[in-house]
């Protein structure tokens, strides 16, 4: 028996994070966020050093997940964040990582203060 229930929000969120789950896509989003204006694909290619087909695939994933918006102007295609909250998400993730890595650094620093261990 199948139902036509709407997809639960946690599944939609999981799919969003799957769409973001690649370093190139995160890098593209960070570039778009820092530019604050529509950015041509040519600039994204220069910054990332990717081949056009690879960039196209990553942009298609971001577009499918409604994270970016594209606009064609003449022969150029410009991309921008679909919602300013995407930038907020990137800032939150960076803050979380900074906190996590900071705690690990504190642990490593405390290990350095331990007396030396000599192998027998």
pLDDT level of residue 56 (50, 70, 90 thresholds): very high
pLDDT level of residue 119 (50, 70, 90 thresholds): low
State the pTM of this model.
Answer: 0.80
DSSP 8-state code for residue 7: P
pLDDT level of residue 3 (50, 70, 90 thresholds): low
Q: DSSP string covering 22-80, please? A: SHHHHHHHHHHHHH-S-EEHHHHHHHH---HHHHHHHHHHHHHTTSEEEEEETTEEEEE
DSSP 8-state code for residue 108: H
Rounded Cα gap, residues 57 and 21, in angstroms: 14
Task: Check residues 88 and 116 and name the one with the higher pLDDT.
Answer: 88
């Amino acid at each position: 028996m199948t139902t036509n229930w709407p997809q639960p929000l946690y599944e939609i969120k999981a799919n969003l994070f799957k769409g973001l789950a690649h370093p190139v896509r995160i890098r593209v989003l960070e570039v778009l966020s820092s530019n604050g204006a529509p950015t041509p694909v040519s600039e994204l290619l220069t910054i990332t050093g990717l081949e056009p087909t690879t960039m196209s695939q990553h942009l298609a994933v971001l577009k499918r997940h409604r994270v970016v918006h594209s606009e064609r102007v003449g022969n150029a295609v410009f991309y921008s964040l679909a919602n300013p909250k995407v930038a907020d998400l990137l800032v939150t993730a960076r803050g979380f990582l900074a906190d996590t890595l900071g705690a690990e650094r504190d642990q490593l620093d405390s290990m350095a203060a331990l007396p030396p261990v000599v192998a027998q």
